[in-house]
Amino acid sequence: EINASFRRFGPLVVDWPHKAESKSYFPPKGYAFLLFQDEASVQALIDACIQEDDKLYLCVSSPTIKDKPVQIRPWRLSDADFVLDASMPLDPRKTVFVGGVPRPLKARKFLAFENAVSKVCRTCIEAVKVL
């Protein structure tokens, strides 16, 4: 159902945490991640949304509910990388991996958290490309 509601915007994969283990047809927590093949599809989805209180909503229908507003929280690929000082060389020996980062987090904001502990010149969030 989720795939059918959103494929009009372009090819996508629907995922949620522990999907493979749960074998559930619907996301258990009431949210899902839509991974579109093209960023233009994300823009088309945003354009189809209504905005209310700085939040985006799309009305989605199912066999039991008609035009239910669901919140859309886009995450752009450009938010995945932030370089504070491009002239500073990157040293692989001083690279740290941090796991469990919330998906909506932007690299610029994460760098601010890291700088509270130590000097950081670059933050890169690697999103899973194939689920």
Residues 2 and 50 in one domain: yes
Each residue's pLDDT tens digit, 91-108? 777 777 676 776 677 777
Q: pTM of the full predicted structure?
A: 0.62
If you search the block for the tokens 């509601």, which residue do you land on?
5
Residues 30 and 43 in one domain: yes
- Answer whether residue 129 is part of any domain: no
Residues 88 and 45 in one domain: no
Please spell the DSSP secondary structure of 14-53, one letter per residue. EE-TTHHHH--SS-TTS--EEEESSHHHHHHHHHH-EEET
Reading the block at residue 1, the tokens are 């159902």
Please spell the DSSP secondary structure of 108-128, one letter per residue. HHHHHHHHTTS--SEEE----
Contacts of 115 (CB under 8 A, 6+ apart): none
Query: Quick check: 49 pLDDT over 60?
Result: yes
Residues 67 and 81 in one domain: no
